[in-house]
Amino acid sequence: MPHALPHAFECFREEVRSAEPFFAVLAAFGKTDLFRTHAVPKNRAVLDTLNLFESVV
C-alpha cells in the first residue's frame, strides 16, 4: 500500500523537516510498503533503525 507522507506545518512549524520521518514511522506501523517522500535519506535511516528494533522484539 503506498502512502504520501504529510508535512503537518501547523504542528511541526520550524521543524517541518522532522514531519516526514515521524509520519514514515506511523506508516510503517500500518504496514505501508511504498513511501512517497522528499527526504529519502532521512526516512531510510529512521526506517532502518526501526527495523533493527523489530528484529529484537
pTM of the prediction?
0.69
Which helix (H) or strand (E) is 2 found in, with range? strand 2-4
Residue spans of the domains in the chain: they are 2-56
Taking only the tens place, the pLDDT of each residue in 40-57 is: 888 899 889 988 887 654
Query: What gap in Å lies between CA 57 and CA 40, rounded to an integer?
Result: 26
pLDDT computed for residue 2 by the predictor: 62
